[in-house]
Amino acid sequence: MLRAIQGIYMLRPLWAVLLSLLAGAGLIAIAGVNPGEAYAALFGGAFLDYYGLASTLAKMSPILLAGLAVIIPLRVGLLNIGAEGQIYMGGLFSSMAALLLPEMSPFVQVPLCVLAGALGGGLWGLIPGYLKAYRGINEVIITILLNFIAINLVSYVAGGPMMQEGAPYPYSEEIREGLWLPYIMPQTDAHLGVVVGIVLCVAAWFVFRFTTVGFGLGMIGKNPVAATYSGIRVRRNVVAVMFVAGAIGGLAGTFEVLGLKHRLYHLFSPGYGFDGIVVAFLAQLSPLMAPVAAFFLSGLKVGGLIMQRAVGLESTVVEAIQGLVIIFVAASLAFRFDRGNWRRFLERRRLLDAGLAGGITNNSGGRS
């Protein structure tokens, strides 16, 4: 019985999503639209239509990588709110490698662009990691502030030194086609970045599940004092984890530039770094579940636009439904499985049932 109850608790993000969609159906009905038709347009357009699925996968790439950039530090007891800034720095560094380096073979320059983007994001994660480990400064505050610095730095570069001459909007020269990421669905924007993201999620799961490094990182997250007494270098690992998380966030920006935008745009990320936080908690910090969570959240964003066009729903209602999902998922985190409490409850229930059964038996015997 305890296992069944624990299973229900483990699925609480699923119940949260279902409840949020139910609440969203109420909003849709208030707007004068049939909820069944609206949700059919949303999920059919995002997951069953060829081009809709491609759009979902294209959006999934940065959201998934941002989610992984949040999950890995959380497993070590760190909250990385800076994935958005790391995305921007990854896009900046990869664009500089693509546009400013001498032209060379794509087999050489594409890996250089990817490494440059990972390095840019990694350096942006290294700063809060070092300050947390060696100065005791809260990483949440530092990463939030670094987000604003990165966004404004990219805005300056895209609208200044790297801006295309005569451009009506702050963006750079177009990156040459030879450096674009390969597409995984012909005639669509779905690119290789989403495959790389899934591979990195599997690799992260393997490290945490089967390696001594992952065991040590998990120990730091649960009890850093015990980890220190066990001989684990906590400070060094904190810095390394934040660098790796930043590098993964940087890859999200890199793949967005090389795979989709093909330029460095001012404000090229519409908040993917913050969507990554939702993915992390929706996946319950599991790297293996992150692709599922990112796929659903990306489909919700793509399908929301399709639903808006198909049934004439106001954009504010679509945004409210997306917000409801976030609120319900966040609220579900407050419900935690307490084995001791449930064991005591079930034991009291068993004793009560036994007492009632005994009373019924005695009453039957007395009447006879």
Residue 47 resides in a domain: no
Q: For residue 324, what are the domain limits?
A: 60-337
Residue 314 lies in a domain: yes
pLDDT in tens, 113-130: 999 999 999 999 999 999
Query: Number of structural domains, the chain?
Result: 1
Stretch 301-307: mean pLDDT: 87
Q: Token pair of 58, please? A: 């294209």
Residue 100 falls inside a structural domain = yes
Query: How many Å is the Cα radius of gyration of the chain?
Result: 25
Q: Is residue 224 part of a domain?
A: yes
Cβ neighbours, 10 Å, residue 205: 17
DSSP per residue, 28-91:
HHHTTS-HHHHHHHHHIIIIISHHHHHHHHHHHHHHHHHHHHHHHHHHTT----THHHHHHHHH
Residue 136's region, left for phi above 0, alpha for psi from -120 to 50, else beta, is: left
pLDDT digits 0-9 by tens, 31-72: 888 888 888 988 898 899 999 999 999 999 999 999 999 999
Q: Is the pTM of this model over 0.75?
A: yes
**DSSP-derived 3-state class of residue 282:** helix
Each residue's pLDDT tens digit, 313-322:
877 777 888 7
CATH number at residue 282: 1.10.3470
Q: Residue 189: inside a domain, yes or no? A: yes
